[in-house]
Each structure stands twice: as structure tokens, then as C-alpha cells.
Structure 1
Amino acid sequence: MTDHIIFIHGVNTRESRVEPTYADNLIHLLLRKNESQAEQLDLNMIPLYWGDVTKQDEEMLLDMYQRSPLWKKMNFTAIRSNQLLQFTGDAALFISRYDGVRVIERLRLQTIAGLNKNGLMVIKPGDRLHLVTHSMGTVILFDALFSARWDPEKTSDYQGVQQIRQIIFGLDPKMGQGLTLCSIHTMGSPISLYSLIMIKNSNGVDDSIPNTHDITPKLQQLLTALYAVLQRRLPWRNYIHPGDPVAYPLEDLLAMMIDPSQQILDIKDILTQEPGLLDRLLNTATLGELAEIVLSGGRSHSSYWNSEVVANEIFDTIQKSASIIP
């Protein structure tokens, strides 16, 4: 049986864009771990890359900014031109239907290519699927898999999202078919912030108003379907570097929103290293100093791809899945 591991990157918080080779170091760590085992797993690595899809639109916007007579008089123009524009720009563009479809199409084609050999789908009965997502990539992938805004009645003739969803067991349009999702790994993920758009009736809001960006119903549907078949909770590991400003805890939030009885989801927040002196200094820095340090650095946000802690936990989770789900 094969363990198919899909990787998806987020947005770089450093000066340059994410490169297509972003997952190479983590893949190398996983393969090295596998080679040291007496019984090796059959691993199929599928890194997805969407980092250049929105580049042209953001460059056009930056050009308009730079033509403003006020631009050179503003502070932090380097940060505004790179990290802030990429992080907020990619999020805004993905929310739009036009650029969202372009990103989804890239992911769809690369996923199909990763699951094919010589033009034929290589999925076999008993094969397993694992998701490894970073930063904004978590939001993008989870939006594609679970958000109601991509349901057929809302997307006219566009069927790309449905083709992605049908690869995974427990999701419409073919709930009883597809790969069994055996673990989720989120790294430096801001997805907990998006719970703010899922809140219902907290201020007397009419429950009849549709919330098209809410991912919780379909995510809960998937987890329930998996538990019914596997009789085990889905392992979800959320990795947090103490110096990463984009990473937030998920354990308590998802337990409350998705699995209050803690029966269908095994989620854990994992710190990739203990806080050091620099982290304590950041906690006492002024707001201006903190913004400059955080936005111009970004090493902690990309550190997961080189982390032995992350690689070991991912591999151990996959290995346990293989022994429980042969």
C-alpha cells in the first residue's frame, strides 16, 4: 500500500517568494527517516505549488503604489512591497472567484499528476492520504475541500473543486470512494483566525443568513465518515514555532467547534522548539520594533520545512497509520 503525502505551501514572510522547491528539505528528512526503518513505507510525495499564480496581479498593484508621489515618503516601503503585499494580497486574491479558480486549477492539475503514472491513476485499494499544509496554504486547501462557496450550485459550470474533493473518501460528490485521509499536519497556520468568519448568531444574527465560507459542516462530515469506517480518531498535528507570528493554537478551538465530545478528532498543538532569549525580547519590544523585527525576519515562519521535530512527528504518524490501517 502507498502513503500519498500532499504538501502545500503558504506565503513567505521574508523578502522573496516561495520557490517550487519549498518542500525539498522536509521530503529529504522524511525519506531519510524511512530509509532507516527495517520495514520501509511506500511514500509518494506530492508537493503542490501555486506561488506564482497571483504574482502578476500583485506586481501591477505595486507598480500603481510606486507611482504615487507619497510612496517614497512612507515608512517600511520594502516590507510593504514584499511581505505585506504577498501575505495580504494572496489572501485577498484567493477570496476573489477569478484568482481563486486559477489557484484551484493549479492544485487540481498537480494533484492529478502526482497520483498518476504514465497517464494512469496509481491509487490502489488500501492506499492512504496525508496532508501537510503551511501558512496560507492551509486556508487555501481547506477552503477548496470544505467551503460551501465552491458547491456546484454556486460555481456555475466550474467542476475543478468537485474533482479534487472526489479524490478523498468521505467528501461529496462521491462520499463512499477515494483515498482514506489518515493524518493532517498544519505548520505555522493562521486558520484559527478564520474561525471569526464561522461564528454564528453571537450577536443576534439571523441564522438563516448563509455563511458560504464556513468550513466546519463539511469538515465534521468528513471526520464523522472516517470514524465510522476506521473506528479511530483522525490524527491532526498543528506545529507552532514560538517566534512565528502567523502560527496560532488549534487544539482547543477545533475541539470546541468540530468535536466537543473528542470522539472523532485527535488534535495536538506541538511546539517545534522551546522559546529562547530572542522570543522573550520580542515579547517586551515596542509595537514599532516588533513589527519591523517580525515582518523583516520570517525565519521562524519558514523553519518548519527544515525541522527534525516536524519530520519525526509526521513520519511517526504515518507509520502508526500504516500499522493500524493495512
Structure 2
Amino acid sequence: MPTDYVLFVHGVKTPNRGDFQKLASTLFNRIQNSINDKSRVVKPIYSFWGDLNWDAQKELKKGFETSSKWKDYWFRDFRTGQILEFVGDAALYLSRHVGTQVVERLKSDAVSVLRGSNTSDRLHIITHSWGTVILFDILFARRWEDPLLDVEVRKTVNELRTVLFGLHPSPANGIPLASIHTMGSPLALFSLLNISGNVNGASTHDLTPQLITMLENLYNLRKKPLLWRNFAHPGDPIAYPLEGVLPMILDGSDRFLETQDVITDSGNILNRPFSQQLVPLLWGGEAHGSYWDNPVVGKTISEVIRSTI
């Protein structure tokens, strides 16, 4: 029976696999309950990496606290919370040591489930926060093709990529993407890496060549654009729009992609007068973690998945 797989990749501040799966299951259950087509199976895949950098961040926090001037800093909780967790996860992932561990974890969680899928099955990706950048980097960035990398690492990344239709050497193989859903995503900021090139003018972090190849192959297969919904809480300082960014970095995206930014909340009535000031940042962490149980997110993703069936 054809299967719709839903791959969940979490973001920052998620050190426990059980807590992550509980959050993602809330969203998955809403999706599953809304799909009435009994001719298809819907299965979740939970990719967890949040414990790989937790110890390093705790050690760094201890270093801050031993400073004789630490108590003179303002916003200490904000610095060791949202900022450290986001920037720290980014820095650690970009290091080859932790980045390689994340690659291995994604392979362990996803490849064994998706291997053997074909074009009658479908994959829906739901990512949160920094998890969006991680997944797209692993699937599309050229830095994982560097011959200086360990052979086994390059082999693992290739296994991950060839699971997907459009990146597979044989166009008849691999599971096709049917929709992408990004929540609280900073992916737009990383489009700046496209103009930070090497001596040949190409960035090893550039996601676009491989991504465009996959999108074009998907379009040729399905004869319709891939649906992409980008969810943002207005008070989430990590969330950025994509509607106007993707056409800047992806040639042909208007043909291959149907992208919509979706605002998930109108914001607290007490915060609205300060919406363009720094005060709401104090609640930014709560906003950033609000997507998993948000009715707008669940309803929108459910409608998109139903429309692909």
C-alpha cells in the first residue's frame, strides 16, 4: 500500500528524544486524523540530534558563570537561553565533529525507513528552527562532497541524498518530496552564504544547485509545483519570511515551488503596541517553541498533505 512518510526534524532547546517525539506526535496525530483516504498509510519519522551538543553548551555556560564580571551583564538568561542555544547549535553543527554525528543520526533515524521507497510513496518534511538549516545543508550543500572529508562520512551523506527522488542517480528510484513545512525557520538568513564564495566564486555552503536539480526533477515527475509552507509566530525572533527570498536564490522557483508564508498567531494584545521594539524579545523563546501545538500549523499542514493525495 502506498505510504506517506512525515519526517520531523527539531530545532534548538531539544535535549531529550522522548520530549521531542511527544511534541511531534501531537502535530502528527492532527495530520493523521484529518486524512480520510484509507488507501494510503501515513507514518512518522522522528530525527533527533539535540543531545549531541548539550554537554559542550553546558561547559561554555559554566565558563560564563565563573567570570568575575558575569553578574554585570544584562539579559543573562536570554544570553544563555535563546542566544546560546541558537548560535551554539549553529557553531557546533558547522564543526565537522558534531556535524558528522548529526549526519550519522539522521541516517540511523531515516534511511532504514525510507530505503526501498518508490515514486508511489511520498515524503513530507516538517522542520523546526535550526533543524531546517541542518537538513537542507546535509541534503544539498557541497561541503559534504569535500574530498578532505572522511570517506565514510561522504558515503553516509550520499546514502541520505540518494533516498530522495531527484537526487538519486537513477530517476526511477527514490521517494519524491510532496511538501515542505518550515516552522520558525532562519533559512532565509543562510541565503547570504550564497554570495560568500570561494576562489571559484562558489560557496561550499550553497544549497541551491542540488536543490534546483531536485525541484526540477520533481516537477517533471508530478507536473505541478512542490508545496512549501513557512510558518512564523510574529514574536519569534528566529523566524523569517521565505516568499520573497526563494525567488532571489532559486532560478525557476516560481515554476517549481508554490511557497506561502503563514503567520500562526496575532500576538498578545499587551505586546502589540511594542511589536517593533525589543520588549517582546523577552517572550521570544515561548513564541519560538509554539508551533508544535498550534492549530493554524496543524490545519494548514493537514490541508496541504490532503491536497497531494
Same-fold call, TM cutoff 0.5: yes
Answer yes or no: is 1:307 the counterpart of 2:294. yes
SS at match of 1:5: strand
CA distance in 2, matches of 1:93, 1:256: 28
Q: Distance in 2 between matches of 1:231 and 1:268?
A: 19
The code of the aligned residue for 1:236 comes to W
- Structure 2 gap ranges (5+): none
Give the CA deviation at 1:152: 5.4
Matches within 5 A, 1:1-326: 1-12=2-13, 17=15, 19-21=19-21, 22-34=23-35, 37=36, 39=38, 41-115=40-114, 123=117, 126-151=120-145, 153-157=147-151, 158=153, 159-174=155-170, 176-199=172-195, 208-260=200-252, 262-283=254-275, 285=277, 287=278, 289-291=279-281, 293-295=282-284, 298-322=285-309
Alpha-carbon shift at residue 81 of structure 1 (Å): 2.4
Contact 2:184 / 2:239 at 8 angstroms: preserved in 1? yes
- Cα deviation for residue 212 of structure 1 reads 0.3
Q: One-letter code of the match for 2:128?
A: H
Mind listing any 5+ residue stretches in structure 1 that lack a counterpart? 116-120
How does the TM-score come out when normalised to structure 2?
0.89
- Which amino acid is the alignment partner of residue 138 of structure 1? T
Matched-pair contact (CA < 8 Å) for 2:246–2:253: no
Contact 1:233 1:266 in 2 (8 A): yes
Q: SS of the counterpart of 1:305? A: coil
Contact 2:118 2:174 (8 Å CA) reproduced: no
- 1:247-278 per-residue CA deviation (whole Å, 9 max, x = no partner) reads 11101111232144721111111122334524
Q: Distance in 1 between matches of 2:65 and 2:135?
A: 32
* Matched letter for residue 31 of structure 1: Q
TM-score scaled to structure 1, two decimals? 0.85
Q: How many residues align?
A: 303
Contact 2:188 2:245 survives alignment (8 Å) = yes
Percent identity at matched positions? 38
Contact in 2 for aligned 1:147/1:212 (Cα 8 Å): yes
* Matched residue type, 1:140: I
RMSD: 2.3
Deviation at 1:142, TM superposition (A): 0.3
Which AA in structure 1 matches 2:20? P
Aligned 8 A contact 1:242 1:279 in 2: no
Partners of 2:148 and 2:173 in 1: CA distance:
24
- The separation in 2 between residues aligned to 1:160 and 1:238, in whole angstroms, is 29
Q: Once the 2 structures are TM-superposed, how far is the Cα of residue 2 of structure 1 from its aligned partner?
A: 0.3
Deviation digits for residues 71-127 of structure 1, max 9, x if unmatched? 233222222223221111000000111110011111110113544xxxxx5635511
Question: What secondary structure sits across from 1:270 in the alignment?
Answer: strand
User: 2 CA distance for matches of 1:169 and 1:261?
Assistant: 18
1:125–1:255 CA distance, 2 compared to 1 (3 A): closer
SS in 2 for 1:43: strand
**Does the 8 A contact of 2:15 with 2:54 survive in 1?**
no
Aligned counterparts of 1:89 and 1:95: Cα–Cα separation in 2: 10
CA contact (8 A) 2:119 2:174 kept: no
Asked if the contact 1:162/1:172 (under 8 Å) is kept, the reply is no
Assess, with a 3 A threshold, how the Cα gap between structure 1 residues 279 and 195 changes in structure 2: closer, same or farther. Answer: farther
